[in-house]
Amino acid sequence: MDLSTFLNKVIVDHALPNQPVICLHGLDQAPVLFFSALRAYLRALFIEKLDLSGAGFEQHAPRLYTTFLGNRQIYWLGDSSTLASSDRDRVVRLISTYTGPHTLILFSGQTCATVQNYGVALPEHIDKTLYVQLATLYQLPREHIEKIIAYDHQKMLRKNLDETCLFLQYVSVMGRVEHHDLHELIRLYGQAETSLFKLSQAFFEKKEQAFFRLWATLYTRYTPQFWIAFWSEHMWRAGAYTVLMRAHNVADAKTIGYRLPFAFLQHGWKSINTDELKKAHTLLCDLEYDFKNGGNAHYLDLLYLKYFTGAF
Q: What is the CATH number of the domain that holds 302?
A: 1.20.272
Residues 268 and 282 both lie in one domain: yes
Q: How far apart are CA 75 and CA 50, in angstroms?
A: 6
Whether 159 and 214 share a structural domain = no
Q: Are residues 68 and 134 in the same domain?
A: no
- pLDDT: is 88 or 306 the higher one? 306
- Strands lying side by side in the sheet with 48-49: 48-49, 74-79, 103-107, 21-25, 118-121
Predicted TM-score of the model (pTM): 0.58
Residues 161 and 262 in one domain: no
Greater pLDDT, 264 or 173: 264
164 and 205 share one domain: no
Specify which of 146-150, 173-177, 264-268, 270-274 reaches the highest per-range mean pLDDT: 270-274
Q: Domain boundary residue among 121, 141, 156?
A: 121
Q: Is residue 99 over pLDDT 90?
A: no
Tens digit of each residue's pLDDT (9 = 90 or more) over 22-37: 888 888 778 888 888 8
Q: What span, in angstroms and rounded, lies between the C-alpha atoms of 286 and 82?
A: 36
Check whether residue 8 and residue 101 sit in a common domain.
yes
Q: What are the backbone dihedrals phi and psi of residue 284, each rounded to the nearest 5 degrees, phi first?
A: -60, -40
Instruction: Please compute the mean of the pLDDT values over residues 229-253 and round it to a whole number.
Output: 88
Residue 56: what residue type? G
Give Cα separations from 10 to 67, 133, 134, 233, 241 (angstroms). Answer: 24, 10, 11, 25, 29
The parent domain of residue 183 ranges over 128-189
Q: Identify the band that residue 116 occupies on the pLDDT scale cut at 50, 70 and 90.
A: low
Q: How confident is the model at residue 192 (pLDDT cuts 50, 70, 90)?
A: very low
End position of a domain, from candidates 121, 147, 175: 121
39 and 68 fall within a common domain = yes
Cis, peptide link before residue 101, omega less than 30° from 0? yes
| Residues 199 and 185 placed together within one structural domain of the fold | no
pLDDT (tens digit per residue) in 145-188:
776 666 655 555 567 788 788 777 777 766 555 555 555 555 55
**Same domain for 134 and 158?**
yes
Asked whether the predicted pLDDT for residue 248 surpasses 90, the reply is no
| CATH at 56 | 3.40.50.300
The 3-class secondary structure across the chain, one letter per residue, is: CEHHHHHHHHHHHCCCCCCCEEEEECCCCCCHHHHHHHHHHCHHHCCEECCCCCCHHHHHHHHHHCCCCCCCCEEEEEEHHHCCHHHHHHHHHHHHHCCCCCEEEEECCCCCCCCCCEEEECCCCCCHHHHHHHHHHCCCCHHHHHHHHHHHHHHHCCCCHHHHHHHHHHHHCCCCCCHHHHHHHHHHHCCCCHHHHHHHHHHHCCCHHHHHHHHHHHCCCCCHHHHHHHHHHHHHHHHHHHHHHHCCCHHHHHHHCCCCCHHHHHCHHHHCCHHHHHHHHHHHHHHHHHHHCCCCCCHHHHHHHHHHCCCC
What total number of domains does the chain contain? 3
**Residues 13, 111: one domain?**
yes
Are both 53 and 117 inside the same structural domain?
yes
Q: Is residue 116 located within the same domain as residue 8?
A: yes
Among 95, 121, 147, the domain-final residue is 121
